Amino acid sequence: MNAANQFYTLLAMAGSGVVLGVMFDVYRVLAARLRAPRWLLPLCDVVYILVATLFSFRVLYHSNFGEIRYHVFLGLLIGVCFHFALLSSFAIQVINWVIDTIIRLYKLLLRLADLLILKPLKLLYRFVVLLFGFLLAVSIFLYKFMVQLLYPLWSLLRFLLRPIIRPLQKHVRMPKGLKTFGTKLKNVWPWFKDWLKR
């Protein structure tokens, strides 16, 4: 491997060290913001180490086809030290700002969904309930009104048909069950008439 390739590998691994530092800052900030339980942290550490190792070997493979030399580790050490010495505090601020921005956008989307979807649906539901109640009240009113209009006609019809019905009742015997039903119906009619007047 010539000097140019070694220098390129050194720069690539230094950049990888910076990226690994940023990834570690993201991991630290998320663990603190999400208040991850202590028993979960060792598992997260293992996941971070695996991801960092795979990322480093991927960069190493593209830079010098996977050959491990001393300058590989030197580049990683330079990148990590450079990040934590100069960039870590700024990276943490940026990460916190990104998380806060995502939270604000999430809350804004919830408010928009409430204003544009949930509240119109609630208003529509109330309108349908009120409309149904109004139509039901109008139907009951019209029913009572029609009954009160037809009641005098029914009384007049009974009065006019009485001379015809009375002679028929003497010659036609009503079944016992029907006669009992008629008696019960006569007892219910005054209550039904009072209910209609109310």
Residue 61 domain flag: yes
Give residue 173's pLDDT: 58
Name 86's Cβ contacts closer than 8 Å, sequence gap at least 6.
none
Reading the block at residue 183, the tokens are 């008696």
Give residue 194's pLDDT: 64
Give residue 190's pLDDT: 65
Helices (H), the chain: 3-33, 41-64, 70-82, 88-113, 119-171, 176-197
Residue 31 domain flag: yes
Give residue 95's pLDDT: 92
Residue 90 domain flag: yes
Give residue 174's pLDDT: 53
Name 19's Cβ contacts closer than 8 Å, sequence gap at least 6.
55, 79
Backbone φ, ψ for residue 178 (5° rounding): -65, -35
Q: What is the pLDDT along the chain (198 residues), one digit of tens a residue?
A: 566 667 777 888 888 889 999 999 999 898 888 887 888 888 888 998 899 888 888 888 777 776 777 777 888 888 899 988 888 999 999 999 999 999 999 999 999 999 989 999 999 999 999 999 899 989 888 888 887 777 777 777 777 767 666 666 665 555 555 556 556 555 656 665 565 555
Residue 119 domain flag: no
DSSP string, 16-59: HHHHHHHHHHHHHHHHHHTT--GGGHHHHHHHHHHHHHHHHHHH
Give residue 74's pLDDT: 85
Which phi-psi region, left, alpha or beta, contains residue 173 (left: φ > 0; alpha: ψ -120 to 50)? beta
**Domain containing residue 73:** 3-98
Give residue 37's pLDDT: 82
Residue 190 domain flag: no
- Overall domain count for the chain: 1
Q: How many residues does the chain have?
A: 198
Which phi-psi region, left, alpha or beta, contains residue 35 (left: φ > 0; alpha: ψ -120 to 50)? left
Residue 197 domain flag: no
Residue 178 domain flag: no
Residue 111 domain flag: no
